[in-house]
Amino acid sequence: MKKITLALLTALLIAGGVLWIWTTTAPEALVIDQARIRLVAGSGPQGGYFSLHNRTSTAVTLQSASSPAFARVMLHQTRIRDGQSEMQSLQDGVTVAPGESIEFVPGGMHLMLMQALQPLQVGDSVPVVLEFAGQDQQVQSFTHQFVVVPLTP
């Protein structure tokens, strides 16, 4: 009886451990969709938008982003306060609680993609690397394809 209990306990511990590893490291547990870049004419920066669903059991922080197609990518937020529009860098990143989602949308949080290395066209697919830190401060990078869309749908 004792042996069975011990075996069961061991199995549970292993299963628990596997589950813990899966939830903390499995990339599919962070879901990114509607990833898009709104094409603004000219050589200025472009805005990147997406939804991020944290389906892990721990909080994650989107710390930074980069793209081989742009010289620099920054996390930004537009804020309108007393009729004044301001753009701010999200220097501390954006933390998403377990089970929560965040939206990067026009007029709110956005990726500011600076200096496209090649001209972009509607329909292009652009890889963007998103870097996340978990509770253990371990950084994970995910590359996601962002589709270039016209400014107005």
Nearer to other proteins, 4 or 41 (CB): 41
* 6 contact partners, CB below 8 Å, separation of at least 6: none
Residue type, 7: A
Nearer to other proteins, 10 or 115 (CB): 115
76 binds other proteins (CB under 8 A): yes
Residue 89: CB minimum distance to other proteins, A? 8
107 binds other proteins (CB under 8 A): yes
| Phi/psi of residue 54, nearest 5 degrees | -95, 100
121 vs 96, 98, 124, CA distance in Å? 32, 36, 6
* 118 contact partners, CB below 8 Å, separation of at least 6: 69
30 vs 34, 56, 131, CA distance in Å? 14, 7, 12
Cα 84 to Cα 78: distance, rounded to the nearest angstrom: 10
**Binding-site member from 87, 97, 122, 139 for other proteins (CB under 8 A):** 87
Q: Which stretch binds other proteins (CB under 8 A): 1-9, 80-88, 118-126, 137-145?
A: 80-88
Residue 119: CB minimum distance to other proteins, A? 12
# residues contacting other proteins (CB under 8 A): 31
User: What residues make contact with other proteins under the rule CB under 8 A?
Assistant: 38, 40-47, 72, 76, 78-89, 106-107, 110, 112-114, 151-152
